[in-house]
């Protein structure tokens, strides 16, 4: 419960910092274009933290991590929706896989943040985990998407 309260307090403060964040997806986009995939995860958040005044603060880290998480989440949703349309025979299986993954992701991130329960780093650890897990799932769906397109 304390973990959730600390995370909500950080989340509520994000709008004030969000307007000052220097965030670009360029680092991830360039890395993905080079074919590195897993090595690309977190690069834009790191650049944001480095380039934003106060980016190393708890609020700065949280804001930068959340921006990159949202980037990967948008890509994940694109691949998911397009796969459901392009591969209707497996659409239900994909939906079930995605639902199970969401439960697994949330439990994994809660576990990672448990060591920081009640502390301000709980939100940072949670968002870092959400970013990493969402990016990995996006890359998984992207690979399936590529296979479906090549059929």
Query: What DSSP assignment string belongs to 95-134?
Result: HHHHHHHHHHHHHHHHHHHGGGTTSTHHHHHHHHHHHHHH
How many independent structural domains does the chain possess?
1
Torsion of the alpha carbons at 105, 108, 111 and 112, rounded to the nearest 10: -100
The model's pLDDT over 63-99, given as tens digits with 9 standing for 90+, comes to 999 999 999 999 999 999 999 999 999 999 999 999 9
Asked if residue 143 lies in contact with residue 85, where contact means CB atoms within 8 angstroms, the answer is no
Q: What is the CATH number of the domain that holds 97?
A: 1.20.1270.180
C-beta neighbour count of 6 within 10 angstroms: 21
Asked if residue 104 lies in contact with residue 115, where contact means CB atoms within 8 angstroms, the answer is no
Please tell me the pTM assigned to this model.
Answer: 0.86
Can you give the residue range of the structural domain that contains 89? 2-150
């Amino acid at each position: 419960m304390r973990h959730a309260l600390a995370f909500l307090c950080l989340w509520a403060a994000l709008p004030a910092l969000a307007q000052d964040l220097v965030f670009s997806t360029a680092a991830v986009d360039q890395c993905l274009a080079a074919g590195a995939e897993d090595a690309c995860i977190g690069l834009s958040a790191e650049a944001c933290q480095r380039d934003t005044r106060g980016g190393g603060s708890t609020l700065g880290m949280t804001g930068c991590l959340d921006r990159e998480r949202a980037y990967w989440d948008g890509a994940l949703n694109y691949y998911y929706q397009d796969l459901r349309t392009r591969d209707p025979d497996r659409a239900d299986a994909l939906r079930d896989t995605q639902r199970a993954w969401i439960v697994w992701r949330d439990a994994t991130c809660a576990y990672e943040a448990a060591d920081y329960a009640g502390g301000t780093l709980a939100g940072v650890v949670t968002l870092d985990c959400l970013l990493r897990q969402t990016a990995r799932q996006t890359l998984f769906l992207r690979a399936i998407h590529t296979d479906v397109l090549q059929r």
